[in-house]
A and B are shown apart, each in its own frame.
Chain A
């Protein structure tokens, strides 16, 4: 309910016009349906009295035709308007969600570990289309229809209207709420079972080699079949309830129709209505109930949307009021970097991520940082970007703390990550992200620098080639080169390389590194890496272990003085074998 107030209600207010139009058209559709039956019933009854002139039934004839056309037309318009309304709302929600994620982009991975958060969230937004079109609109329309019919009936006989209101309330309120309550437990059970089905199956598909070698395929099949049968049995029970409910509601329809019929007959006898209207009143019950019965099914979907909204809400909870930091610091041209006794501990972590880390990187130096996973490499990176502020000690870039640059820190630091993201647009647009107003010549220059010009010019669409359709065409090395071109275009004085060659074979790796260091010759380069290959020309090599510096020095120094380094280097270069 809170979620409803937070994520649904505001849009009703924001898009009042569109909402009203949708609901109006939706109600009109059913009213036209009722109108058709009502006037048709009247028309036939009146005609059977054989009036001396056709003109006597002229009005009902016109009305029958009008309603006959109005119903499909308003239904069609309602569907279009409702989709337009919802898609507009979803657009706004996307922007909101984007804002929320944008704020915490650099934390998302650590905060929401499990699975594909991004994919799920974007699906969640799409699910809300159904929430409106299949649940909210039909329910509200049913309510309006309910009110309308009861009020219309009350004009003739308020006592009977009250009675019918109770009967209809069974359909509109009691059954939906009852089903929701009855199925609640089963739905949770089912979800849990489906979760284990997914877990077991993906364990078996991704871990198939282990199942094969262990010779325990049978055990798996049995385990899966057990859970599956449980889940399917639950679904069967839920389906059985749905079938029973439909039956009950339909029988209820029959009862209500008989009530209305008998009432109309009695009213006619006592002269309150003309007998010509008996057929109209009796028959109109059917299309009316047709509009009310789907409420139960519509409400059944509510828990599904609740989950989606909860996930979206979960992301929103981390959003805080951000004050726009107007940076007054001018961008340094050749900044030095200095870490001075930096200490840092993650809020949620217990261990210190960085302990008394000091390092000076004069402009233009090439630094390599190595370490096992969790050694503190990415913490360093986050600190440089100002995402985190050290608990103790200082970091300065060109004499200023990273946070002082505000958003403009990205004009000082460029980064090439492990798997740089390339967007589903053209190669040119991807490179252009580095500098929006780059000229054609500038782009040509950077692709030449990263040695991609020849390859790209052989492609039929050249720079206009879409990344999407070439998922296979661009290899790992080429993708890195495109990302590198982007960084080059951005032209930041400092470039961070975050394991850019992981997953590449040794020859591609070496070639890529050669290109990288050739094009970044004049810049400060901080390379996080897992191999020692190509580090011969680095100005400083730093080994981190649990947040502390374990080894440090130039390649030759370390090779001469440090036996551990020697060992690792020989292993890595394969020199061991020579």
Chain B
């Protein structure tokens, strides 16, 4: 049972109204069946249709009321579900923005989008279906049973006892099917994914000259998949079968019992016919419940995931309380004893970081993958908060840098800047919507984007990003650079800006980025050594710790970690150093 269900805002009145409607429905079902039986019996007894038309009218009226109640019921529950889904979608999105890039990446950005766009509608379906179905399931069979009890005890008992048996089989077989499915899950998944796996690897197969022969394997695996699916379905369908079987058979049994007792004269025609008409109605709610079982379960599951995300601890927000003054050449950032532990693995990412950063210095952070560069950058940019440690900016004490007034001072250029779905112009002026065309053109020229813009058929109005024209990694960087040029801020943070680019583009971009470094605090993390000459201070990270600090020359003279890195990178020192550095890294 869903523990959140009763806590949704406004659910109680909705349930109350639906309960009343279901009661009306139940009574309408009785009236409808009784008058239909009456009309039939009347006609059987030889009355003309004119004399039973009154019974038919009542029957029709009751049917109308019943269906109207049904209509109202679905409408009300849909409205409620719709309202609640909107509310939770908003909460979910606000929460995601609050959680920040790090947690989103960990949870899987794609999963988050799916949860928001598909999970929420599923959740809506669950709310829409579950409440009326559940209430109908409780009330309608009960009312029909009580009425049948008055008409014919034996039939009522048949109905009464079949329901739990039917439910028992339904649940047991459903459970067995689930077990069967779980047992074969791994092999089943491999079979199910084989096709998409083959398509994704098609280029590789083609290059290996195996693509033609692989066709056979698609056929074989499809066949295996079909067989294994059918084996599972054979059991899975049994649970619906049991429902079908018991309900249909009990109607048949009731009909036979009624017939036998009619022959013996123990009953009269009218009540017998009424019971026969009512018997299928008795089972309808449980059939509805089982028909929507999967949709309901998907929605329930989505609801649980939504609550899981909403219950996650948000980063502490103290932006309102403290104001961080604008960074200038005399500013000072002091970090003491900072550490970051990854929450799920309890593995230290950063250990005991002590740093003082002043004025418009250029700080290079270097280290191999996994050394903690990105974690440190995320903390410095305020995307993530440290587990412990003290930070002070210009004398203001803070526990983290997730402050609006800090982030407003940062230009950030990551390895893969995100390109929004929109025109080149919109992308470039993302940070500075008020920029004039002239300023934009200037930024585009300085970033080296002018050639691209000239080649695009629509120029600045060309749509790029998702659904638009694809652009290369170097062009992405240029867009990010142009963004920073249009909205210059006193702090520039770069996270591995050029490592993935070809050497010529890298060279060109570096030349264009360097002028932007002036009169700014620059923090640049990379494993590309050439940037280090442009840095005032180099921080060498290894396994989450600062192992060396100093200028390039100082560090080279010291012949420590930095020197080893330089040697290994150039390959000059041979395998010896290489393996030495490597063993310290892994």
Nearest CB in chain A to that of B415: its residue = A503
Chain A contacts for B238, CB-based, 8 A: 76
Contact mask for chain B residues 111-136; partner A; CB cutoff 8 A; 1 contact, 0 none: 01100110001000000000000000
Beta-carbon contact of A506 and B85 below 8 Å: no
CB distance from B39 to the nearest CB of A (A): 6
Say whether B154 faces chain A, with CB atoms less than 8 Å apart. no
Assembled-state Cα–Cα distance A224/B238 (Å): 44
Chain B contacts for A47, CB-based, 8 A: 258-260, 262-263, 272
Closest 8 CB pairs of A and B: A68-B252, A410-B209, A574-B529, A91-B222, A265-B43, A207-B418, A47-B262, A530-B502
- Please give the number of chain B residues whose Cβ is less than 8 angstroms from any Cβ of chain A in the complex: 152
Beta-carbon contact of A258 and B528 below 8 Å: no
Say whether A329 faces chain B, with CB atoms less than 8 Å apart. no
Chain A contacts for B241, CB-based, 8 A: 72-73, 75-76
Given A47-B260, A221-B90, A243-B75: A571 in contact with B190 (beta carbons within 8 A): no
Say whether B40 faces chain A, with CB atoms less than 8 Å apart. yes
Chain B contacts for A481, CB-based, 8 A: none
Partner of A64 from the list B212, B255, B528 (CB cut-off 8 Å) is B255
Classify the interface of chain A: helix, strand, loop or mixed. helix
Say whether B219 faces chain A, with CB atoms less than 8 Å apart. yes
Partner of B258 from the list A44, A257, A374 (CB cut-off 8 Å) is A44
Given A44-B262, A572-B503, A574-B528: A87 in contact with B63 (beta carbons within 8 A): no
Contact mask for chain B residues 551-580; partner A; CB cutoff 8 A; 1 contact, 0 none: 010001000000000101111000000100
Contact mask for chain B residues 234-254; partner A; CB cutoff 8 A; 1 contact, 0 none: 100110110011001101110
Assembled-state Cα–Cα distance A102/B195 (Å): 13
Beta-carbon contact of A278 and B566 below 8 Å: no
Say whether B337 faces chain A, with CB atoms less than 8 Å apart. no
Partner of B273 from the list A118, A125, A202, A279 (CB cut-off 8 Å) is A279
Nearest CB in chain A to that of B245: its residue = A72
Assembled-state Cα–Cα distance A197/B205 (Å): 37
Question: Which A residues, 29 to 47, have Cβ-Cβ distances below 8 Å to chain B?
Answer: 33, 36, 39-41, 43-47
Assembled-state Cα–Cα distance A543/B503 (Å): 11
Beta-carbon contact of B430 and A214 below 8 Å: yes
Say whether B52 faces chain A, with CB atoms less than 8 Å apart. yes
Partner of B259 from the list A44, A113, A236 (CB cut-off 8 Å) is A44
Assembled-state Cα–Cα distance A408/B556 (Å): 53
Chain B contacts for A90, CB-based, 8 A: 222, 226
Beta-carbon contact of B263 and A468 below 8 Å: no
CB distance from A228 to the nearest CB of B (A): 6
Given A84-B230, A221-B90, A571-B510: A268 in contact with B43 (beta carbons within 8 A): yes
Pick 24 A–B contacts, CB within 8 A, sort by A.
A44-B272, A44-B276, A47-B263, A79-B237, A91-B226, A94-B195, A101-B199, A105-B203, A203-B418, A212-B382, A213-B381, A217-B97, A236-B79, A236-B82, A251-B64, A257-B36, A279-B44, A409-B209, A414-B207, A417-B204, A507-B578, A574-B528, A575-B570, A577-B533
Partner of B269 from the list A45, A197, A371, A417 (CB cut-off 8 Å) is A45
Say whether A352 faces chain B, with CB atoms less than 8 Å apart. no
Say whether B307 faces chain A, with CB atoms less than 8 Å apart. no
Since A247-B68, A258-B60, A577-B566 are in contact, a sample of 10 more A-B pairs with Cβ atoms closer than 8 Å, ordered by chain A residue number, is A67-B252, A69-B252, A76-B240, A90-B226, A199-B466, A240-B75, A250-B67, A264-B43, A423-B201, A533-B571
Partner of A502 from the list B97, B210, B244, B500 (CB cut-off 8 Å) is B500
CB distance from A326 to the nearest CB of B (A): 13
Say whether B474 faces chain A, with CB atoms less than 8 Å apart. yes
CB distance from A179 to the nearest CB of B (A): 16
Beta-carbon contact of A205 and B259 below 8 Å: no
- Which of B3-11, B324-332, B402-410 is the contact stretch? B402-410
Contact mask for chain A residues 231-268; partner B; CB cutoff 8 A; 1 contact, 0 none: 01001100110011011001101110110011011101
Beta-carbon contact of B40 and A282 below 8 Å: yes
Chain B contacts for A95, CB-based, 8 A: 215, 218-219, 222
Contact mask for chain B residues 446-467; partner A; CB cutoff 8 A; 1 contact, 0 none: 0000000000000000000111
Chain A contacts for B89, CB-based, 8 A: 228
Nearest CB in chain B to that of A574: its residue = B529
- Which of A49-57, A166-174, A392-400, A519-527 is the contact stretch? A49-57
Interface bin, chain A: 35 or more
Assembled-state Cα–Cα distance A54/B104 (Å): 74
Beta-carbon contact of B86 and A232 below 8 Å: yes
Beta-carbon contact of A212 and B269 below 8 Å: no
Say whether B547 faces chain A, with CB atoms less than 8 Å apart. no
Say whether B277 faces chain A, with CB atoms less than 8 Å apart. yes
Given A48-B272, A239-B78, A373-B502: A80 in contact with B234 (beta carbons within 8 A): yes
Partner of A577 from the list B64, B109, B552 (CB cut-off 8 Å) is B552
What total count of A-B pairs have CB within 8 Å?
429
Assembled-state Cα–Cα distance A60/B504 (Å): 90
Beta-carbon contact of B43 and A208 below 8 Å: no
Beta-carbon contact of A45 and B44 below 8 Å: yes
Chain B contacts for A264, CB-based, 8 A: 43
Say whether A411 faces chain B, with CB atoms less than 8 Å apart. yes
Beta-carbon contact of A574 and B465 below 8 Å: no
CB distance from B268 to the nearest CB of A (A): 7
Chain A contacts for B407, CB-based, 8 A: 212-213, 215
Given A87-B230, A201-B113, A208-B104: A94 in contact with B200 (beta carbons within 8 A): no
Chain B contacts for A531, CB-based, 8 A: 502-503
Beta-carbon contact of A206 and B248 below 8 Å: no
Chain B contacts for A246, CB-based, 8 A: 67, 70-71, 74
Beta-carbon contact of B206 and A87 below 8 Å: no
Contact mask for chain A residues 91-113; partner B; CB cutoff 8 A; 1 contact, 0 none: 10011001101100110100001
Beta-carbon contact of B569 and A573 below 8 Å: yes
Q: Which of B44, B94, B412 has the most CB of A within 10 A?
A: B44
Chain B contacts for A221, CB-based, 8 A: 90, 93-94, 97
Assembled-state Cα–Cα distance A518/B500 (Å): 25
Assembled-state Cα–Cα distance A411/B514 (Å): 48
